[in-house]
Structures are given as structure tokens and as C-alpha cells.
Amino acid sequence: MHISDGVLSPAMIAVTSLAGAGTLAFSLKGIKTEDIPKISLMTAVFFVGSTIHIPVGPTSMHLMLTGFIGLVVGHHVAVSVLIALLLQLFLLHFGGISSLGANVFIMSVPAMILGVCLRSYLVKAGSKSFLCGFAAGFLAVGGTVLLLAFTLIQSNMRFGQGPFSTIVTITVVQIPLMFIEGLVTGFAVQFIVKTRPNFFHREPPDMERLEHEK
């Protein structure tokens, strides 16, 4: 669901660039040294997942895994997304410079919201961890589709005209992806919760405090 150069109007490029910059600024807040390995890992997850795509008409179908990324890094999603998008742009010529702000915004915001809302619940979800992961994956794609459709319509009304318009095609194509992302994220979260229960904690245990308590 990358928006390429030449798709957005100049006015929408300006608006989405500001929106993307604001999203990134918020995402950068509160980053600690111990967060960097997870952010780096999630950058690789997004890069690999969204690089393998299947063209379908004016759009394409590919994994984003932003819901999973949101559960892992919380509101720092935009940092991972931006770095991955830049790597895809310069290494694979995938995406665009003028649409970079829009892509960061539409892919990061739903995942950031879901990460903040579901992450603390996931720690104590137990047997319901699959459902929590499924919801994150499913809703993250759904939110991105809505933001993408809104951005395209505001840029040029012709994207939404007719039963076979760009927006209709994008929405129809991404509905199966919502379920695929939900299942992939659900099983991944369930496995991690069973094998690494503390992986989704906001902060790692304070080792000095634990040593002192011993």
C-alpha cells in the first residue's frame, strides 16, 4: 500500500509531509537505549514483509505487520517504518520521496494506537494472546486502508469515482490481507508469549533492583 511519487497533489504532499513529521516526532519521544534492538528488529520485519508484494491492478498486496510492530515497540512504530521505507526507496526504488510523509503517517498511526491500547493488555492476556494479536494485525491493516482511501480522495476525487475505482480496488484487495495479517500476527504473538513471556513488556526488568532484592 505504498503511495508512489506523482500520485498525490502538491497540497496533499504538503499536508501529509507535516503529518508524517509530527507522527515521527511523537514516535521518537521516550526512546531508551534498550529500545533500539527491538526497533531495529521491527525495521527488518517491516522491510522484508512489505518488500514481497503481489501487483493487483493499480495497487498491490503485501504483508505490513505493523500491528505486530505496534505490540512490540508501542508508539515507536513510525521510527521503524520510516527507516524501512527509506531503505526500500534507495535500495529497491519502491515508494517515493514526495509520498514519504503520507506513507509514514498512514502505516504508522493505526499501529501506534493499537500498540498503546493492546500492549499492556497483552502482557496479562494469557490464553487470549492469539485474539489480541489477531485484532492488532487485522485492525492495523483496516486503519491503514481507511487513511489511504481518505488521503487519495482528498488528493483527487477521481480515485473514488465508479464501481472499479482505485479506492474500491484497494479496499477489496486488502480485505483478505486483513485476515492474513490477523492470523500471522495472532500466531506469532501466541508463540512469543509462550516462549518469551516478558518480550512485550514496556520495559525490561531493572536488573540492579532485582539483584538488590536477592
Question: Are 45 and 83 within 8 A, CB to CB?
Answer: no
Instruction: Please count the other Cβ atoms lying within 10 Å of the Cβ belonging to residue 138.
Output: 21
Average pLDDT over residues 8-12: 90
Report the amino acid identity of residue 12: M
Question: Domains along the chain?
Answer: 10-200 (1.10.1760.20)
- Residue 120 contacts residue 201 (beta carbons within 8 Å): no
In whole angstroms, what is the distance from residue 154 CA to residue 7 CA? 12
* pLDDT range class, residue 123, cuts 50, 70, 90: low
Over its C-alpha atoms, the chain yields an Rg (Å, rounded) of 18
Whole-model pTM?
0.85
Digit-coded pLDDT (tens) for 35-89: 999 999 999 999 988 877 666 555 566 788 999 999 999 999 999 999 999 998 8
Q: DSSP alpha helices (H): ranges in 52-165?
A: 66-73, 77-92, 100-123, 129-155
Q: Residue 200: which pLDDT band, with cuts at 50, 70 and 90?
A: confident
